[in-house]
Chain A
Amino acid sequence: MPAVQETVARVRSIDVDQYKYGFVTEIESDRADKGLSEDTVRFISAKKGEPEWMLEWRLDAYRRWRTMAEPKWARVDYPAIPYEELYYYSAPKGSSGPKTLADVDPELLRTYAKLGIPLQEQEILAGVEQRRVAVDAVFDSVSVATTFKEELGRAGVIFCPISEALRDHPELVRKYLGTVVPATDNFFATLNAAVFSDGSFVYVPKGVRCPMELSTYFRINERNTGQFERTLIIADEGSYVSYLEGCTAPMRDENQLHAAVVELVALDDAEIKYSTVQNWYPGDAEGKGGIYNFVTKRGDCRGRNAKISWTQVETGSAITWKYPSCILRGDNSRGEFYSIAISNGRQQVDSGTKMIHLGKNTSSKIISKGISAGRSQNTYRGLVSAHRKATNARNFTNCDSLLIGDKCGAHTVPYLEAKTSTAVFEHEATTSKISDDQMFYCQQRGLSSEEAVALIVNGFVKDVLQQLPMEFAVEAQKLISISLEGSVG
């Protein structure tokens, strides 16, 4: 309840068409030359001091990418991306190595403070024990600080920039990197394999319940920079980890490319909960500027009784192209996908999930809430498939769309494939509009039209918000309201 109040207050305090996170930080940066070539790949690999096998892996991906074509099947429309005009590596100057907080540029820390990230380790305040969150902050292409590293280390949890993991734990990275999303997977994932610059690495050892939420904060700052982070999370047998990523970018007239890859591996009896609050700059009301978000996220329930759960709140980006998926390989494994995708202005969203049932008695659940406003287009695209050997596969899909106004579109494209007669797939879908009568009812009780929309939408997405870790649910609720401002009246 207080969150709704905050939401409402927040909506009031911000003008329409004003992206809160749209500031630029003035920091000198160290960039690779414009454009993409084998030299760019070598430059990035050398900057990171990577082992030879990693460079080869990148170069293979690069050569493969040169032969690939951009996928065109999604319901999104955008001008050709000038790959040769982009910068593929940008680092704040002097931060090419691992850092302690004391070494981080104070300007950068101020940026993160503006973003509200608890980068400085929180103390237990006067009798109020706060839940703590370990944060890895990625600025353009490099991780600048990882908090709580020591405390996590005592539990045996590794949480560090992936570039650091390549140096300190090469055997672990090599064992798992590219095993969920192969370097050849798709155009954008292959591009990422070639030029990824940083991202987070998490390893939770056998039987360990990670003592705190892990979080990565991504921010694109440099002009004309692509951000290609790569995240790899491994939950060993019987372990548990909850991970959250948040994203922002400054307002730029040009479009910026973001092509990330996230790989999750859950072994026997392990559980990974991965949450995303994505708030990249969506472009202005006329569709100028904004992030092109082409992301490949996939989790592999590699062991028996493994569980992977994706929760996403997508409010930003000019174009969103992402399908966080689960491969249910282990018997009795379970995959979940909870999504809130909001589009306003000229935003285009094509997002959903894939639940690939391979093991016996595997189950999956999909709850998708799409909200379209303004002149946006919002597509849910989801695949549920059961392999011949996936006996007793179960899926439940609930896919609801809410339309605000009459110039936007909502589309649902479900694909169902069952190769075993024992599979039971259920699919429910609804499309509704916020009715004038509902609006009038709320207004008659004293809510402004924006407060009314925020309230109705928060009710619509409640099932998904409940899946988010508490402190992020409040943030997400605010974000939802902010991203819908100007959608009525």
Chain B
Amino acid sequence: MEPDVKMLLSIKNLHASIEDKPILRGLDLDVKAGEVHAIMGPNGSGKSTLSYVLAGKSDYDVTEGSATLDGADLFAMEPDARAAAGLFLAFQYPLEIPGVATMTFLKTALNAQRRARGEAELPTPQFIKLVREKADGLGISTDMLKRGLNVGFSGGEKKRNEVLQMALLEPKLCVLDETDSGLDIDALKIVAEGVNALRAKDRGFVVITHYQRLLDHIVPDVVHVMAKGRIVRTGGKELAHELEARGYADYVEEAA
């Protein structure tokens, strides 16, 4: 890595708990602009917790440590301010909002972020054109955009919808939480292509996954192994293959 590439996400000694039960126990992670980091680990290692804590879900208490996005203290911001600052979380289980058309949701979200950043709202014709462009690439039909947000969507449709939102909101840092779960290989490819299309030198990714499979399609620069609330090993993309072959058992032992 070139030394002058800017640090996007910097997490230092992060401890977080839910209902007084510690989940993250001293996690460190640095992601530079343009990089894709994969975080792998067994169930219960705290991968999803990390994504929620970064996004500001109120169930979790940060008890120690810090996290900055582009230099700004994430934990000093409300969840919506973090989003406007450029943090995007692709949910493992996207929520349904009945009666709110997907298109309406997208427009409300985009304009809320633009307002928060002091930018003008996007006029409707431009907005619709923009959504159509991004949706076409992901195989999302006009009909789907008119339906209630995620209501009656298949697993694949929900995940494609997450990527559509990501494409539209143009975040600085994308955190993908188990985006591959529940997807067949065709759906996985579409989603991965959508993500790859967003890779850019000023954007970073944290891809959380249990399986190496996703990383064949979204090829990471760095792979971390997480166990018991900490990063226990860091390597290149070959580390994912090693894990696939050997499993997580060694790391669970080590971290214990």
Contacts and interface: CB of A to CB of B under 8 A. Distances in A.
Interface of A: 1-2, 4-5, 8, 435-438, 440-449, 451, 455-456, 458-463
Contacts of B110: 446
A5 B111 contact: yes
A451 B107 contact: no
Nearest to B91: A441
A446 B97 contact: no
Given A8-B108, A442-B109, A460-B98, 18 more contacts: A1-B104, A4-B104, A4-B107, A4-B108, A440-B55, A440-B79, A441-B91, A441-B95, A442-B97, A444-B55, A444-B80, A444-B91, A445-B113, A446-B110, A451-B80, A459-B98, A459-B148, A461-B99
Contacts of A446: 80, 83-84, 109-110, 112-113, 116, 169
Contacts of A8: 108, 112
B112 A438 contact: no
A455 B95 CA distance: 14
B58 to A, nearest CB: 7
A445 B94 CA distance: 12
Interface in B125-168: 148-149, 165
A5 B99 contact: no
Nearest to A3: B104
Interface in B1-56: 55-56
B75 interface: no
A447 B58 contact: no
A195 to B, nearest CB: 42
Contacts of A436: 58-59
Nearest to B79: A443
28 contacts: A4-B104, A5-B111, A435-B95, A438-B95, A438-B97, A440-B55, A440-B79, A441-B91, A441-B95, A443-B56, A443-B83, A444-B79, A444-B80, A444-B82, A444-B83, A444-B91, A445-B113, A445-B165, A446-B84, A446-B112, A446-B113, A447-B108, A458-B99, A459-B98, A459-B100, A459-B149, A460-B98, A462-B99
The 6 closest A-B pairs by CB, nearest first: A459-B99, A459-B100, A446-B113, A445-B109, A443-B79, A462-B99
A443 B55 CA distance: 9
A448 B107 contact: no
Contacts of B216: none
B213 interface: no
Contacts of B251: none
Interface string B48-89: 000000011111000000000000000000111011100011
A130 B89 CA distance: 44
B103 interface: yes
Contacts of B83: 443-446
A213 to B, nearest CB: 25
B211 interface: no
Contact of B124 (A1, A441, A455): A1
Given A5-B107, A440-B79, A448-B80, A455 B97 contact: yes
Contacts of B109: 442, 445-447
Contacts of A440: 55, 57-58, 79
A398 to B, nearest CB: 13
B248 interface: no
A1 B112 contact: no
B121 interface: yes
A441 to B, nearest CB: 4
Given A438-B97, A447-B108, A460-B98, A1 B84 contact: no
